[in-house]
C-alpha cells in the first residue's frame, strides 16, 4: 500500500458540525497553528447538516430559561444519569454561541417585537430556538476554508497513533485510492459522529437510516482501542418519525397545532408526547401507525410547516411527499419506528469528556455526537467543538512535536487488507453488512434480556472473525466498507456488554430489560466501558454521575 506522511498541530477526525466548529475556533485562537481535518466524505456537504438546519435545540434565552433550568430538564430526560458539569457549560455558552452564529449570517427568525420562537422539545422548559438557515454547512465551510485549514477529503481515520499513553495523530485511508496517510499531530479532536448505521431500518435500505449514514461508530471504536473511557452504550436509541424516509417532523408540526393520532383515531398526548409513550402505549399495543394530522389548521400554518420542512432541514421531503401524493391539507403523515442507533447528540452514548472536551487519554478530545454531553444536539456539537479547540490549543503549547513509530499500525492495517484480498471470499460487503445489522437488530433491540445480549456478543465476535475470511474484496471501496462494518461490530459488542451490565430497565423503551423490568436506583450511575488488556477484553464499571450543579444549589430534580 502506498503510504504518505504529514504533520500538523491539531488533527480533527470528522468535518461535520463539531469538527467544522473546532477548526474555526483553532484558527481564531492562533492563525499560525496547523489544523488538519480527515473527512470521510466531501467536507462541503458532509455530516448531519449537509446543508441546513431548522432549530438550535438548546439555547438558554435570557428571560426565558437558565442553564440551571436546563440541568433540571436534562436530569429528568436522562433519569439522573447525567454528568452535569459538561452539559451546564454547554447551556451557559449556548446564548453566546447563537449570537456568534447570527454574526456569521445564520438566520434566527423573530416576531415583530423581536422575540425568537422558542419551542418545547424537552420534558420540561423551552430551549429550542427556531433557525431558518438552508446554508448552515456552507457558512461554516467558507469560514474554515478562509482561515486556512487543511482538509483531507475522502479519508477515513482507521487508527489513532498513541505514543507513551499520549495520542500522537492518526492513520487515515483514502477511500478512493486506497492510500494510507499517516498524520502526526500534537493533539487529536474526535468528531466523527455516533453509530448511525447500527440496527437495520424497517424500510430495508442499508443507508435509509435516520442519522448521517457516514457515521459508523468509528469515533467510539478509535477511542476504545486507544484506551479512552466511554459511556452510555446501553442507551439504544430508536425514534418514531416519518415512516419509510426516517426524517424528523414531530416537533415542527405539534408545536404549530398539529394533532398526533393513533390508528383508531385517538389523540396522543400534548406537544411533547414522548417516544416511550408512543411505543409503549400505542405502537406496541397494536395501535400504530401513529399519524400527524394538519388538515384542521389554517392554511398559513401548514405553509409555515412546509416552508421550514422543504427549505432548510430535509428538502428531499418535498419530493417524498409529492411522490406519495401526501398533501398536508387533506392527508395524514404516517409515522413509524426508526432503526436503532447510538449517539451522544440525541442520546447519551459517547467518549467521556470533561468540561474542556478532554477524554481520559492525554491529547485526545471529543465533541458532538462522539462525546457524551448528553442529548446536546447541534448546540453540544458546536460548543464542544469550540471547547475542544480551546483545550487543544492550550495543551499543545508546551509540545514541540509528537512523533510515534507508525510501522506497527501500518503493518496491522496492511495485513488486514492482504488477508481480505488473498482470501477472496464469496459474500459481498453489502450482504455482510446487512447480516451484521440484522443480527444487531434481532439481539439488541429492546426488550433486551441476558440470553439475547450474551448471544449478541458471541455472534458479533464470530462475525468479526468471519469478515476477513468471507468478504469478497474486489476494489478499494470494499476495503473501507469492511473497516466500517468492523467498527459497527465493535460498537455492537460494547453496547451488548454494557446492556448486560445494566441489570435494570431505564429510559423507557431504549433500555428495557424484560428480565429486569424495574428501574433500580442503584443504577442511577454512568456505566463506563474501557479496553482492558486487549481489544476483546471489555471492562465495565459503574460510577456516580457528577452532580456538582445541583449540589451547588441549582434546581433539584
Q: What does the binding site for ligand FAD look like in residue numbers (CB under 6 A)?
A: 13-19, 38-41, 46-49, 53-57, 156-157, 191-193, 211-212, 214-215, 218, 248, 345, 368-370, 377-379, 381
Cβ at position 317, least distance to ligand FAD in Å: 11
CB closer to ligand FAD, 231 vs 262: 231
Strands 35-38 and 150-152 turn out to be parallel
Compute the distance between CA of residue 158 and CA of residue 422 in angstroms, rounded to an integer.
Answer: 21
Residue 117 corresponds to which cell in the numbers above? Answer: 420562537
DSSP 3-state assignment of 155?
strand
Cβ at position 136, least distance to ligand FAD in Å: 9
φ and ψ of 390, to 5 deg: -65, -45
Residue 488: how many CB atoms within 10 A of its CB? 24
Closest-approach residue to ligand FAD (CB): 16
Residue 425: how many CB atoms within 10 A of its CB? 16
* DSSP designation for 521: G
Cβ at position 163, least distance to ligand FAD in Å: 20
Compute the distance between CA of residue 180 and CA of residue 157 in angstroms, rounded to an integer.
Answer: 10
Q: What's the half-sphere exposure (Cβ side, CA atoms, 13 Å) at 109?
A: 15
Compute the distance between CA of residue 11 and CA of residue 353 in angstroms, rounded to an integer.
Answer: 18
Closest CA to 128 of 77, 87, 94: 94
Cβ at position 372, least distance to ligand FAD in Å: 12
Cβ at position 82, least distance to ligand FAD in Å: 17
CB closer to ligand FAD, 56 vs 492: 56
CB closer to ligand FAD, 368 vs 468: 368
Dihedral class, residue 31 (left if φ above 0, else alpha if ψ from -120 to 50, else beta): alpha
CB closer to ligand FAD, 156 vs 305: 156
CB closer to ligand FAD, 67 vs 261: 67
Closest CA to 293 of 327, 321, 264, 331: 331
Q: How far is CA 523 from the centre of its chain?
A: 24
Cβ at position 553, least distance to ligand FAD in Å: 28
CB closer to ligand FAD, 45 vs 426: 45
Cβ at position 127, least distance to ligand FAD in Å: 10
Cβ at position 542, least distance to ligand FAD in Å: 26
Cβ at position 180, least distance to ligand FAD in Å: 13
Residue 245 · residue 519 · CB < 8 Å: no
**E strands, 327-436, in order:** 333-337, 350-351, 364-366
Stretch (H or E) spanning 540: strand 538-543
CB closer to ligand FAD, 55 vs 297: 55
Residue 188 · residue 171 · CB < 8 Å: no
Q: How far is CA 393 from the centre of its chain?
A: 24
Compute the distance between CA of residue 523 and CA of residue 80 in angstroms, rounded to an integer.
Answer: 10
CB closer to ligand FAD, 235 vs 516: 235
Cβ at position 188, least distance to ligand FAD in Å: 11
Compute the distance between CA of residue 255 and CA of residue 238 in angstroms, rounded to an integer.
Answer: 21
CB closer to ligand FAD, 363 vs 368: 368
Stretch (H or E) spanning 482: helix 476-501
Residue 28 · residue 3 · CB < 8 Å: no
CB closer to ligand FAD, 23 vs 453: 23
Cβ at position 189, least distance to ligand FAD in Å: 10
CB closer to ligand FAD, 19 vs 273: 19
Amino acid at each position: 500500500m502506498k503510504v504518505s506522511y504529514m504533520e500538523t498541530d491539531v488533527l480533527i477526525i470528522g468535518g461535520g458540525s463539531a469538527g467544522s466548529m473546532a477548526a474555526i475556533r483553532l484558527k481564531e485562537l492562533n492563525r499560525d497553528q496547523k489544523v488538519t481535518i480527515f473527512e470521510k466524505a466531501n467536507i462541503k456537504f458532509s455530516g448531519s447538516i449537509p446543508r441546513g438546519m431548522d432549530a438550535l435545540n438548546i439555547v438558554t434565552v435570557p428571560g426565558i430559561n437558565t442553564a440551571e433550568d436546563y440541568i433540571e430538564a436534562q436530569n429528568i430526560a436522562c433519569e439522573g444519569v447525567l454528568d452535569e458539569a459538561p452539559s451546564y457549560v454547554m447551556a451557559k455558552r449556548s446564548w453566546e454561541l447563537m449570537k456568534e452564529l447570527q454574526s456569521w449570517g445564520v438566520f434566527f427568525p423573530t416576531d415583530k417585537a423581536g422575540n425568537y420562537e422558542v419551542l418545547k422539545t424537552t420534558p420540561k422548559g423551552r430551549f429550542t430556538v427556531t433557525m431558518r438557515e438552508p446554508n448552515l454547512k456552507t457558512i461554516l465551510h467558507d469560514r474554515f476554508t478562509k482561515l486556512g485549514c487543511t482538509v483531507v477529503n475522502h479519508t477515513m481515520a482507521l487508527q489513532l497513533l498513541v505514543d507513551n499513553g499520549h495520542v500522537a495523530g492518526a492513520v487515515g485511508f483514502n477511500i478512493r485510492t486506497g492510500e494510507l496517510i499517516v498524520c502526526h499531530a500534537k493533539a487529536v479532536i474526535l468528531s466523527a459522529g455516533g453509530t448511525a448505521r447500527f440496527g437495520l431500518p424497517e424500510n430495508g435500505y442499508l443507508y435509509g437510516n435516520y442519522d448521517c449514514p457516514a457515521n459508523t461508530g468509528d469515533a467510539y471504536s478509535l477511542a476504545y482501542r486507544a484506551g479512552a473511557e466511554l459511556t452510555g452504550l446501553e442507551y439504544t436509541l430508536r425514534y418514531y418519525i416519518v415512516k419509510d424516509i426516517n426524517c424528523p417532523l414531530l416537533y415542527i408540526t405539534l408545536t404549530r397545532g398539529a394533532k398526533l393520532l393513533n390508528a383508531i383515531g385517538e389523540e396522543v398526548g400534548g406537544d411533547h408526547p414522548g417516544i416511550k409513550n408512543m411505543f409503549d402505549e400505542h405502537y406496541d399495543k397494536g395501535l400504530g401507525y401513529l399519524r400527524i394530522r394538519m388538515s384542521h389548521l389554517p392554511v398559513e400554518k401548514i405553509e409555515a410547516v412546509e416552508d421550514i420542512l422543504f427549505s432548510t432541514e430535509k428538502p428531499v421531503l418535498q419530493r417524498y411527499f409529492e411522490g406519495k401524493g401526501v398533501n398536508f391539507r387533506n392527508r395524514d403523515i404516517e409515522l413509524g419506528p426508526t432503526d436503532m442507533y447510538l449517539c451522544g447528540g440525541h442520546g447519551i452514548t459517547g467518549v467521556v469528556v470533561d468540561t474542556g472536551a478532554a477524554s481520559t487519554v492525554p491529547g485526545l478530545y471529543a465533541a458532538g455526537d462522539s462525546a457524551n454531553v448528553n442529548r446536546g444536539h447541534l448546540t453540544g456539537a458546536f460548543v464542544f467543538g469550540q471547547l475542544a479547540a480551546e483545550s487543544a490549543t492550550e495543551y499543545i503549547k508546551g509540545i514541540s512535536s509528537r512523533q510515534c513509530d507508525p510501522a506497527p499500525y501500518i503493518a496491522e492495517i496492511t495485513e488486514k487488507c492482504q488477508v481480505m484480498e488473498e482470501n477472496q471470499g464469496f459474500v459481498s460487503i453489502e450482504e455482510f453488512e446487512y447480516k451484521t445489522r440484522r443480527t444487531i437488530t434481532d439481539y439488541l433491540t429492546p426488550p433486551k434480556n441476558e440470553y439475547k445480549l450474551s448471544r449478541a456478543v458471541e455472534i458479533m465476535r464470530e462475525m468479526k472473525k468471519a469478515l476477513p475470511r468471507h468478504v469478497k474484496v474486489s476494489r478499494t471501496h470494499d476495503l473501507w466498507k469492511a473497516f466500517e462494518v468492523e467498527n459497527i461490530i465493535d460498537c455492537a459488542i460494547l453496547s451488548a456488554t454494557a446492556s448486560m451490565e445494566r441489570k435494570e430497565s431505564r429510559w423507557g423503551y431504549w433500555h428495557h430489560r424484560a428480565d429486569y423490568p424495574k428501574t433500580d436506583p442503584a443504577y442511577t450511575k454512568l456505566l463506563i466501558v474501557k479496553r482492558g488488556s486487549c481489544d476483546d477484553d471489555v471492562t465495565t464499571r459503574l460510577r456516580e454521575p457528577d452532580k456538582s450543579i445541583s449540589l451547588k444549589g441549582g434546581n433539584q430534580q
